[in-house]
Every structure is written in structure tokens, then in C-alpha cells.
A and B are shown apart, each in its own frame.
Chain A
Amino acid sequence: VKRSWLASLLAFATCAALVSASGRAADDGFTPDLRAAIDGANKEGTLYITWGNILGGPDGARDLERLVNQKFGTHLKFVYTPGPSQPEMAGRIAQEAAAGRPASTDLFGTSMSPENAGLFQTIDWRRYVPGMPESNMRYQRRGVAYATVLWGITYNTNLVPKDKVPKSLRDLLRPEWQGKVGVRVTATDTGFLALPEVLGAQGVISYYQALLAQSGGLLRCGSEERVSSGEFLFFFPDCGTGRLLAMHGAPVAQVIPVEGGAVFDWLAGIPKNAPHPNAARLYIAYLLSRDGQDFVWRTMGADSELLPRSKMAAIVQSYRARGIKIYNTYDVLLKDPKLVESSQKALTALLQQSANK
């Protein structure tokens, strides 16, 4: 009798523990994949982030370390290193992969493209963020959109008189702006300019030739401070992140040219040779959560228009309501990949040649 009583007690305790554990799991709202990532991340202990001013740069990495650990109950250490532009980082990841070395970053933050998408892991992010739309994932689920930025012309509001703010792309070519335009160093997401109704395949090349002859230098995304300082009066095509500086009182604003603007999504990806892939999954899963989206807005002045309660979606809608044509660069790529690819290839060659005036 004593033995059966002990067995019953043991069975009850086991059931209670199981119920309690499953209750906790249900309470925390984490999916099994996310829980597995948490376990894996705890073993990894570290996350390497190598980029420039993305998501608040070093400050952002420090804040996200606290927020991610708080949300997932982990004790991860985020190791932020200021690095080259993301397209350059893709080149470095590719070289490291070819040489059989681990990547020097666990995260890729912006410019995923058909050329570099193969470097990243295929992940179904809906298994980590239930309810996330399929459309947030791109390039066979190798990248996931966490921020939508609006493409246009950033200018210095102190140094460009109101009546001379460019209205069209051609206005940037006016002689008075010679040497004062900073051109984005990469041609990523410029494919829509080659559409017949915008500049056309040949038109975009002629335009870039004139623009580069006009430009004072090549700028990376996140360099809007060089416009607010007056070093450059314009940044085109900008990366849509000048809004944050403007929110802090810096003399910058953005204008969408009459030819049209574009939205493009910044895609996060995890390199196949990432040394801490589970920690990277938690980082991205956090960015896709509501709290994470608020963080993205605070540090970049943007969030993903595809996710619920997006502020960016409202902004884009307001432009469209005013009759301004706003293209989606990914849709353009899907619709006419050959046009986009050939146009970006030609523009990249022009940009490389113009690296030395």
C-alpha cells in the first residue's frame, strides 16, 4: 500500500510539473521553434553585429541587447562592431564562406539582392512570429522585411532655399548644385527608375551619367548627417532614414520627386556561415514583434508597412492619397527581373567608374 501511495504521489508530481511547464510555455507565447532558438542562443551566448548606423548603431545594439534578453529570458552579449556598408559586408561574407571561415557577422541588415541572397539561411519566419504575413519574406525566405523605407531626395533645409527645393529628378542637375549632391554608393533598389513610365532603360543610364558628373561624392546609407552638416546639400537616392535626424531637430527633410518615389524593404538575413545563428534568430524575431517595430521606428524613423499598426504604412498612404506615384521595388523586381538586373548592373558599373573623378 505504501509503495502504491508513493507511486501515486510521484505520478501526481510528474503531471503537475508537466502541466506547469506547458502552462508556462503557453503563457510566454513562444513557438516551439522560438523556444529551440532560445535554448540554442543560450548555448551560443553571443551575437555579432557588424554594420554602421543601422538601428541606432552602437547605442541601438546596447539597447537591443537589454530588450532581447528581457523578452526571451536570455543572457546574450551583443558584440557590435562598426563595419563597412552592407553590400560590402555581403562581399566579405561571401569571401569568408568561400574560404570556409565563419562569417564576421551574424546578421545582415539591409541590401539583400538576387546576387547575394544565396549567402543566407532559408527560414520560415512565421514559425517564430505567428501571424506574420508571407509577403514579409523575400528571396525564397532568405530575407525578412523589418522596415520599409521611402526612397527620395534628402536635402538640407538651411542651405537649400524653399523655392529651390528640387521637384523633379532633373532639378538635381541644375548647375548651381554642381559638386553638392551626394549619390548613394550602391545602385540597390534603383531598378524601378528603368521602367518605361519613369526614366526608361536608356534614360536611367543617361540620367546617372549626368548625376555622377554633378555629384560631389558617394555616400552610404545612414550618412544623412553629412547633409545636415552642409557637407552635401542633397543625398540621392537617399535611404529614407533622414526622418530620424529631422525628428531630432536637424535641418534635413525629404522630398519625393514628381517622377515617383519608391518603397523598399530592409531585409534581415542570417549568413549560412554565421557563428551564432540562434541568437540572430532571436534578434530578428524581436524586431518583427510589436515592441521591436516600435524600436525600429525610434532608431530609424521607419517600420515595416506590412506589419499591423505600421506608422510607415500611413505615411506611404498619405503620399499616394496626394497622387504621388510610389512604386514597390520588390514588386518591380518580380515583374521585370531582367530589366531591373540589367539596369542595376549598368548603374553599378557607372558608380564604380565614378569612384575616382
Chain B
Amino acid sequence: LTRGRPDLASVTIAVLVTIGTLLVLGLLAFVVWMSFARVAGGVVAGAPTPANYLTVFADPVVVRAAANTLIFAAGTVIIAGAFGLPLAWLAERTTLPGRSLIAAFLTMTLLIPGFFTAMGWLLLLHPRIGVVNQVLMQWFGLHGAPLPITNIFGMAWVEGLTLAPVFFIMAAGSFRATDTTFEEAASASGASGFQLLRRITLPLMFPAILAAGIYVFTSSLGTFDIPGVIGLSNRILTFSTYLYLKTSAQNGLPDYGPPAAFGTVVIGFAVLLGVVYIRMLARARTFQVVTGKGYRPRLVRLGSFAWLAWAFVGAYFTLTIVLPLLLIAWSALLPYYQPPSLQAMHLLSFASFAHVPWALILRGLQNSLVISLVAPTLALVLSMAFSWTILRSKLRGRLLLDGVAFLPHAVPGVIFSLGAILVALFLLPKWIPLYGSVAIIVLVNVVAWLSFGTRMINSALIQIGTELEEAGPASGASHFETLRRIIIPLLAPTIVSAWLWLVLLGLRELTRAVLLVTTDNVTLSVITWSMWTGGLINQAAVVVLATIAVLIPFMALYFYLARRARDFGET
């Protein structure tokens, strides 16, 4: 990759980059190919045909699902922005006491699986069993539920709450890095705090806000968690639940053609959004300054409004974690679900815990742990190879590789799952038992996380001066040794932090796994979801509590390492 005779490091990197590229493009290409294929009797047969596209565009279910998906994704952006943006401003640009805790709270929120929150919100705002609706109907003598969650807006509300931390992280980074010269000038000219925010800060932030919005939009396009829990049984389909239904046929063989055609349309749309996202990000960077040690952002004094700000933070935390989890704990203590009431209090017991299928949970946990430990490791190894090639090599067309690495973010993960199933069933020979294995979920997660991994390592690698790498060969070290003894140790904090983050995401992942699981590779999140949809509500609730117990040590480790890294940075 570097000029000169190829050595072991260069060859290894080249092999890894080739594998990564083949995985990303191969899975997508197979979905596109399948969209033109005729499937008869469960096998691909006949010449390519546009029939699947004609079926998809003529099907009113698909048209409604597509409209629902767009409304759902747009609503999610609005809700995530409504919480994430003010929270980022409070954390980065105000004198709010204890504001560093906001980031910790939000990180914790992001790590609680979205479908747990959705289950809790159903129990809160369902038109008939939702506690809040019942109380409001009793108090005001209403005949209908005033706040029903079983609609596309309710789904967007919950998804927006769960993705607000993503908006927060992206906006906070921008608030931190944006040039304050204009703000100082406006302030010197007598502008009030509100005027400053409205006329200077927000316009400067606009490209970054737009980029965050597009990021959240693409994340929610293919998500399964909330549409699966709230939408599926209430007859509201989105893209991911449509794919799920179509690949789980009720009569005869699953028809993979139409979902592949729908998936191809979404791939095209997502790639377009990805291009806009990259452009917005580039524009956002033009408003940033390389901050030296003397850089201090201008902080707004909140004074007596500080309590109001904390009330806002508390409300977000309560809505996203406390209330849903309380309702889940309530249902775990009941033999069969009943809305909270004095009468139902008599039924509370720990009997559900005695009936918990621990063998099944341990099997799910084992698979989840394997997936969440192996996939991040492989994803980061591939990411390092990609980042190194993109930033350090002189390979022609290396920026295209950056595009390949970014694709898994733009394209919904559920499409990669579809591609993996199709490859496992139709392409691979029978002696490669990928279908129904833990490896297939690992593989899809590796692909899906390549984007995150390369973004993290790219930004860390940029900060490492090339003279350090040049010092290695100058002292007689091989490229491999330079990589092992200089570059990897310097990247270690970023790698560990990214790895732990992906481990936590892996333990909660449902969207990609739900299409891929069978008996041998069932995960904890799919067990919970299957129990919930199969009518085992209290047992599903117990599994939720067990999963959170598993997540806690990993979260603690993540926060501990993040704190150590910060302390190290400060010293």
C-alpha cells in the first residue's frame, strides 16, 4: 500500500480491505440481483425480470409502508432534535451546574434497547391499557384515549426519544468546536443571549444540525425495534416490518423478490442521503476552528433558570428510562399483565422469576456475548485496515474505499441481513453452514459497524503525526512492527472505547438479528421480542430485567474507561 516492496503488514491490510469491500458490496449486490430474480419453489429460476418491482409498486401495502417509513423517520428527527439539541446546548454552552452528567445520562439512555423503551411506552400510552391514558380518561371523563401511542406518530415519539442521544452527541461535538468569534462580536455589539443563539449560534450550527438530522433519519429508516413492538400488532407497517413479514410467509414459501426490490429502492435512497450527509458534514467543518489550549467556548449564564434546565434533563431521563422500566418491572411481577391498580397490587409476586427459562436465557446470553465480543473486534480490525489505507496509503481511488466504509451507515442494517440470508440460502454451497449460525449474525454486524469503526479510527489517525510512523522504518523496524509498536498503542484509547461501545450496542441489537435467528443462534434481544409477541408478556419483562443486569457491568466499565481517558487527557 505504501510505496516500495510490499511487506507482511501491507499484504495483511490489503487482504482485510478486500474482504471488507467484498462483504459490503457483495451483500448489497446480492439484494439488487435478487430483486430481478424469479424465485419458484424456494429456488432461483429463470431469466431476470422486473416483475418484483412491478409487484412492489402496485402493492398498496408497500406504498403505505413506504409513506409510514418516511413519516416515521421525519418524526423521529423532529423529536430527537427537540431533545438532543437543547441538551447539547445545555451541556456545552451554559454554566449549568453538574452539566457533565448530561452526557453520562444520555449515553446510558442510548444503551437501553429501544424495544424495551417501546414496551414500556405501550404500557404507558396504549389507548386501553396505558396507565396515563386511563388516568386522563378517568379524571376528565373522556371516552377516548387522549394520547394514543399506537400510531405512526407515537412510534416516531418513542424512536425520537431513543435516538436523541445520537443527535446530542453530534450536536455537542459541533457546539464544542464551532468558532466563537462571531458570537463574541455579536455580544460586544449588545446582542442578548437569545438573540445570540437565534442569529449567530444556530445559523452557524445549521449544517451540523442538518447532518445530525440526516444521520438520525437514515438510522430510523430501517430500524425494527419500535416498529416491531408498537407497529406490527397494530397494523402499522414500516420498511423493516414489511421485510420481516414478507420473509416470514404464512402460506408456503417466503417470497424474497418483492422485499429485495423494495430494499433496492431504499438502498438507492439511502446512498443519496449519504452523499448529502457527507457534504453537510464537510460544510459544518468550514465553521470550525482548530482550537488551541487557550480556546474556551463562550458560556451562557443560566442563573435562576438552572432548575428549569435540570427539570428538562430530568423529564427526558424519566420519559426515556425511568417510566418505561418501572412499567416493565410491574409486569414482571404479575402472573398475567394488568394495568397498575390497587386490585392488581394483590397479584404482585416474584413467581414469574421462578418460571424464567434460565437455560434459554443463558443460551441467548451466550450467543449475544459471542456476537457482541467477536463482531466489534473484527469490525475494528477491518476498520483499522480501511482507515490506514484511506489516510496513509497512496492507493488510487482510496476515497472510494471511504465511501464503501460509509455505506453500512447509510443503508439500513436490515438490508444487510436480507442479503446475508439470501447468500446463505441461495449462493453458498450446502457444506458451508452459514444459515442459522452465530457466524451469520457476527458477519452482518461486522459489516454494519464498519462505518462507525472507520469514522472513529479516521479521526484518531488524523491526529497522529506521520513522523512517528516514519521513525519506525528509519530505525530499521518493519511496517508490521511499526504498526504493532507505534500506531496501535497510540490508537489504543480510541480502539478500546469504540470496542466497548460496540459491545454494548451488540448486546441490545435486534434489528439485524431478528431476520437471521433460528434455534442455534437465538440472541437475548430476539428471545425478549419473541416472548413479547408470543403473549408471554411477564416472562419477556423478566428477560428485559435480566438483560439490563448483564448490561450494567459493561456500562460501568465503559464509563470507567471513558473517565480514565478524560483524566489522562486533562493531565
Contacts and interface: CB of A to CB of B under 8 A. Distances in A.
Contact of B248 (A52, A92, A99, A186): A92
A1 B436 CA distance: 67
Contact of A104 (B61, B245, B430, B519): B519
A95 B129 contact: no
Contacts of A39: none
Interface in B221-280: 233-237, 242, 245, 248-254
B61 A352 contact: yes
A27 interface: no
Contacts of A82: 360, 522, 527, 530-531, 534, 536
A8 B254 CA distance: 67
A95 B253 contact: yes
A356 B337 contact: no
Contacts of B531: 57, 82
B61 A57 contact: no
Interface string A86-114: 01100110111111110011000000000
Interface string A335-357: 00000000000001000111111
A219 B533 CA distance: 9
Interface stretch (A28-36, A227-235, A257-265): A227-235
Contacts of A81: 360, 518-519, 522, 527, 530
A134 interface: no
Interface string B179-201: 00000000000000000000000
Contacts of B430: 99-101
Contacts of B337: 225, 228-229
A326 interface: no
Nearest to A219: B233
A178 to B, nearest CB: 10
B90 interface: no
B557 to A, nearest CB: 30
A230 B534 contact: no
B47 interface: no
Contact of A185 (B237, B250, B357, B539): B250
- The interface centre, meaning the residue of A57, A87, A229, A233 with most chain B CB atoms within 10 A of its CB, is A229
A115 interface: yes
A149 to B, nearest CB: 15
A294 to B, nearest CB: 20
Interface in A215-261: 215-220, 222-226, 228-233, 245, 248-250
Contacts of A353: 60-61
Interface residues of B, number: 56
Interface in B352-397: 355, 357, 359-360, 363
- The interface centre, meaning the residue of A53, A81, A85 with most chain B CB atoms within 10 A of its CB, is A81
B250 A186 contact: yes
Interface in B518-540: 518-520, 522, 527, 530-531, 533-537, 539
B251 A348 contact: yes
Contacts of A230: 128-129, 338-339
- Looking at chain A, what size class is its interface with the partner chain? 35 or more
A352 to B, nearest CB: 7
A79 interface: yes
B465 interface: no
Contacts of A96: 435
Nearest to B331: A229
Nearest to A48: B519
Interface string B39-70: 00111000000000000000011001100100
Contacts of B363: 79
Given A97-B42, A229-B336, A356-B68, A58 B248 contact: no
A58 B235 CA distance: 28
Nearest to A245: B336
B426 interface: yes
B221 to A, nearest CB: 17
B127 interface: yes
Contact of B251 (A62, A91, A98, A354): A91
A320 to B, nearest CB: 30
Contacts of B150: 216
Given A95-B42, A225-B535, A84 B248 contact: yes
Contacts of B253: 91, 94-95, 98
B519 A79 contact: yes
A356 B530 contact: no
B41 A98 contact: yes
A285 B248 CA distance: 29
A250 B535 CA distance: 14
Interface in A163-177: none
A84 B430 CA distance: 25
B472 interface: no
Contacts of A185: 250
B60 A115 contact: no
B359 A62 contact: yes
A25 to B, nearest CB: 33
20 contacts: A81-B519, A81-B527, A83-B530, A94-B252, A98-B42, A99-B43, A104-B518, A179-B127, A217-B233, A217-B234, A217-B235, A219-B233, A223-B535, A228-B338, A229-B337, A229-B339, A231-B129, A248-B335, A354-B235, A356-B64
Interface of B: 41-43, 60-61, 64-65, 68, 126-129, 150, 233-237, 242, 245, 248-254, 335-339, 355, 357, 359-360, 363, 425-426, 430, 433, 435-436, 518-520, 522, 527, 530-531, 533-537, 539
Given A52-B533, A91-B250, A224-B535, 12 more contacts: A91-B252, A91-B254, A96-B435, A99-B43, A101-B435, A225-B337, A228-B336, A229-B129, A230-B339, A231-B126, A232-B128, A356-B65
